[in-house]
Chains A and B, each alone.
Chain A
Amino acid sequence: MASPTVTAPDIPRPHARSLLERLRGGDTITYLVTLICAIAILAIVVLIVGELWMHSQPTIKKFGFGFLVSSEWNPNSGQFGALPFIYGTCVTSALALVVSIPIGVFAAIFLAEMAPPGISTVLTFLIELLAAVPSVIYGLMGIFVLVPLIREYLAPILSSAFGYLPVFSGPFYGVSFLSAGLVLAVMVVPFIISVSREVLLAVPVDQREAALALGATKWETTWQVVLPNASTGIIGSVFLALARALGETMAVTMVVGNTPNISASLFSPGYSIAAVIANEFSEATGDLYISSLIFLGLVLFGLTIVINGLARILIMATTQRRA
């Protein structure tokens, strides 16, 4: 570069900065530190999957992927199969979502759109406290409050009105898929409410005002304008809820009946992957038994990924169609 004929001697010339100067500048360090943190998380996940895979080898060698479709779980004779636990995990989580999504979204709509500000603040605070309650407390609440309530009131009503349907057939003994699903629903509703409420509040005011100006009622505004705008966030909260429901251990094991059972009826006792690992891992002796439980853990991990992936594909498909 040709230097001009008149230069002030103290104007610094632009030049390529050396590594040391870049480091002292702070941007490079920030980049490196944040990169390391992000990679660390990924590394931990890869490590977890690797360890689970390694320790599941005896079971994989003996049963192969037939483990995933076998329903025989007999520690004494050495027969292990994951199907009842996969079924139980899916059924309890599905029931929890079916019950909690409408309640959660409508509660969020009330808090964001319709409640007077004072009530809204107080209720929101209380609901966010609920999200922090440890799961053992929910389990105790399940056993001592929810299960007797279901046994006295809900189960007889369902049985007499819908007893002919396979999903509500059979006797009700308190601990069941139904109880576990409802306890899980109570646990995940606070997540759905708090995230959905935030997302609903974030919808721009001019969208609402435009709808109202066109003559829409409050409900029509909410249902046709605000909710679609907030739908991505609400679906995010549902994923959060689903993740908690799939992995929930203590609350489920206290009310699900701990019986490896595949039954269409919600009144029947069942089991879930997290519950069986919590129950049997500490006393499990023998390589095959322990590796079967570890393989179940890997299966839960895979189940979470598959369900999340399918849900995201479904969402992408529906949003693209709408677009």
Chain B
Amino acid sequence: MKLSAFTRGKKAKLAGATVLFALAAVFPLQAQVTLTGVGATFPAPIYQKWFNDYQSVDSNVQINYQAIGSGAGIGNVTQGVVDFGASDGPMTDEQMAAYKKSHGFGILHFPTVLGAAVPTYNIPGVTGSLKFTPEVLAGIYLGQIKKWNDSKLAQLNPGAHLPNLDIVVVHRSDGSGTTYIWTDYLSKVSPEWKSKVGRNTSVRWPVGLGGKGNDGVAGIIKGQKGSIGYVELIYAIKSHLDYGMIKNTSGNFVKASLSSVTAAAAGIDMPADFRVSITDASGANAYPVSSFTWLLVPSEIKDPAKRKAMVGFLKWAITKGQDEVESLDYAKLPSTVVSKEESAIGKIK
């Protein structure tokens, strides 16, 4: 085949480049450490941003994350098929014991960011934030308060013209950390809710329609007059939804915001293993339906490169990484929690 000088040169360059790429793929210039994790969907956006940004801090470390649900996060890390997990709800004592039994060492929880669930509604003629008390919310979700102009709601919101309309309750149909936070809060403030329904990522709701995902719930609320439901704070902010204020233990009506959610975490007595629920937290400015989300990390990591990578990432995430969270509408960890976590990270062997 006759090749002109130009074509010959181009082909040679192409061949050379191909060989170089092939060599680079097979023999990387530096040792790459890859960590894999699966778990909760709620923190997935900030985790993806962190894992991406951490590459500029330590270019040897590549972290892959798949958001397939807190349940899968707990399950997979217990089976040992991933290096870490992520969950919106802390592992139960039975799950911790099961982990210890199959691995011989324990698993550690590291809170990373905070989230919240807010009550959003669609009432014709009502805009802005309605005031709710814990008892009223429990009454609505138990199906005991059936109309918007019920005296209990009218007393709290004298200025709003609440119509004589049925309350249509909406909840999540898919298992979710947001449901866990909401039912955890209701279980704490209503003994009747605790005995009848309880707290879980998926429960037997006494009344209400189920929507799949935050968008499913918001879609039903948008179309149905007189409906009320709970969505994640981030979703409400991004979709510009009206949401209500809830009375906290100090007696103040607090609207969920990044600062009121962080305030909820600051006020609690943090246990050593960080497995704590911060719903119904004390603190003048605390938003009562807030929660941590955790990374689940084995307490022993045999591979020294992986251990160094994991420890390095965790230290970065709870300090420098926190500067990035508010841009994605997550609430930061309070400084008291950060300092406790820094000492806990040292426990990873």
Interface residues of A (CB under 8 A from B): 72-77, 143-144, 147-148, 151, 171, 173-175, 253-254, 257-259, 269, 271, 275, 278-280, 282-285
Return the chain A residue nearest B226 by Cβ: A173
Closest beta carbon of chain A to B239's beta carbon, Å: 15
Bound together, the chains give a CA A77 to CA B196 distance in angstroms of 10
Q: Is B63 an interface residue (CB 8 A)?
A: no
Interface membership of B68, Cβ < 8 A: yes
Asked whether A283 and B202 contact (CB < 8 A) given A171-B166, A175-B209, A258-B211, the answer is yes
Chain B residues in 8 Å Cβ range of A283? 69-72, 174-176, 201-202
B202 A75 Cβ-Cβ under 8 A: yes
Q: For residue B222, give the distance in angstroms from its CB to the closest CB of chain A.
A: 9
Chain B residue numbers with a CB within 8 Å of A175 are 209, 211, 220
Tell me if B197 and A76 are in contact (CB < 8 A).
yes
Of the candidates B95, B173, B200, the one whose C-beta lies within 8 Å of that of A258 is B173
Contact of A285 among B74, B216, B227 (CB under 8 A): B74
Q: Once the chains are docked, how many angstroms separate the CA of A148 from the CA of B220?
A: 11
Q: Which of chain B's residues has its CB closest to A285's CB?
A: B71
Q: How far is the CB of A294 from chain B (nearest CB, A)?
A: 14
Q: Does B199 contact A (CB under 8 A)?
A: yes
Q: Is the CB of A280 within 8 A of B210?
A: no
For residue B306, CB closer than 8 A to chain A, the reply is: no
> Please, could you name 26 A-B residue pairs with CB atoms under 8 Å apart, sorted by A?
A73-B204, A74-B204, A76-B199, A76-B203, A143-B219, A143-B223, A173-B209, A174-B220, A174-B223, A174-B224, A253-B173, A254-B216, A258-B209, A258-B210, A259-B208, A259-B209, A275-B173, A278-B174, A279-B175, A279-B212, A282-B68, A282-B72, A282-B175, A284-B202, A285-B74, A285-B95
Residue in B173, B205, B216 whose Cβ sees the most chain A Cβ within 10 Å: B173
List the 5 shortest-distance A-B pairs measured between CB atoms, nearest first. Answer: A283-B175, A258-B210, A258-B173, A282-B69, A74-B204
Query: Would you call A173 and B173 a contact (CB within 8 A)?
Result: no
User: Across the interface, which residues of B come within 8 angstroms of A253, CB to CB?
Assistant: 173, 212, 216
B86 at the interface (CB under 8 A from A): no
Is B106 interfacial (CB 8 A cutoff)?
no
Measured as residues with beta carbon below 8 angstroms from the partner, the interface class of chain B is: 20 to 34
Residues of A within 8 A of B168 (CB): 173
The smallest beta-carbon distance between A135 and chain B, in angstroms, is 13
The complex places the Cα of A278 from the Cα of B216 at a distance, in Å, of 14
Which residue of B has the minimal Cβ distance to A175?
B209
In the complex, what residues of B have CB within 8 A of residue A275's CB?
A: 173
Q: Shortest CB–CB separation between residue A19 and chain B, in angstroms?
A: 46
Q: How far is the CA of A29 from the CA of B70 in the complex (A)?
A: 51
Chain B minimum-CB-distance residue to A147: B223
Query: Does B198 have its Cβ within 8 Å of any Cβ on chain A?
Result: yes
Given A258-B173, A285-B75: A280 and B202 interface contact (C-beta under 8 Å)? yes
Nearest to B175 among chain A residues (CB) is: A283
CA distance A147 to B221 in the complex (A): 13
Of the candidates B71, B203, B220, which one forms a contact with A74 in the assembled complex, judged by CB atoms under 8 Å apart? B203
Question: In the complex the two chains form, what is the Cα distance from A282 to B208 in whole Å?
Answer: 22
**In the assembly, what is the distance between CA of A4 and CA of B107, in Å?**
92
B203 x A148 contact (CB < 8 A): no
**Residue in A144, A259, A278 whose beta carbon sits within 8 Å of that of B205 in the complex:** A259
The closest CB in chain A to the CB of B223 belongs to A174
Known: A76-B198, A253-B212, A280-B175. 7 other contacts (CB 8 A): A74-B203, A76-B199, A77-B204, A257-B209, A257-B210, A275-B173, A283-B72
